[in-house]
A and B are shown apart, each in its own frame.
Chain A
Amino acid sequence: DAGVTQSPTHLIKTRGQQVTLRCSPKSGHDTVSWYQQALGQGPQFIFQYYEEEERQRGNFPDRFSGHQFPNYSSELNVNALLLGDSALYLCASSQGRGNQPQHFGDGTRLSIL
């Protein structure tokens, strides 16, 4: 049973560029959430997708956007990258809406030069 998979594992970009990160949820899960984790900190909630719509959003600017596809996989897009966007980006999946236990992927390490 495949867990949550994310791609790529590492990415290096420069300021001002745009990036797309991808996530496939655990089998049987239909809800995908994205988090940003800075070094030494806990994950910060970006947004959650369910039934192909953004259902909840954390305190992140509009430069952060996403999409969920009919097969429940998801993308996170970040435009106009800033140095402060360097972090580990985690995808988590769960079953149904609400506060269900989430299963995490191993993340994409994004470095901005």
Chain B
Amino acid sequence: EDQVTQSPEALRLQEGESSSLNCSYTVSGLRGLFWYRQDPGKGPEFLFTLYSAGEEKEKERLKATLTKKESFLHITAPKPEDSATYLCAAGSSASKIIFGSGTRLSIRP
């Protein structure tokens, strides 16, 4: 069964303290790994798409990487405005997109 698992569920960091969020996936015929940011009361905001192992994408303080079983979202020197829930989703060969439960990230000033 297709499954996406994110860890940790919640992460509290001090401003400037770098860390990584993990997304493990078991999907038949991966057709894209997606990262989204979701703020309270809002819909998910698209960040990155990764298609093949070894691929990396960067945007400001965020960098996403992909292996055959996992994806990581690295956050470098985070700021309080980076606080949000980060969602990972995998696209399957059946054209379905499966989301993980997300990581709630809190950055303290």
Chain A positions near chain B (C-beta within 8 angstroms)? 4, 33, 35, 40-45, 48, 55-56, 58, 90, 92, 97-107
Which residues in B have their C-beta under 8 angstroms from that of A107? Answer: 43
State the interface size on chain B (CB cutoff 8 A): 26
Instruction: Tell me if B43 and A105 are in contact (CB < 8 A).
Output: yes
Task: Report B5 CB to chain A, min CB distance, Å.
Answer: 10
Besides the known contacts A42-B6, A101-B32, 8 further A-B residue pairs in the complex with CB atoms under 8 A apart: A42-B100, A48-B95, A102-B34, A102-B97, A104-B43, A106-B41, A106-B42, A106-B43
Interface residues of B in 42-61 (CB under 8 A from A): 42-46, 49
CA of A107 to CA of B87 in the docked complex: distance in angstroms?
Answer: 16
Asked, given contacts A42-B87, A101-B34, whether A33 binds B97 with beta carbons under 8 Å apart, the answer is: yes
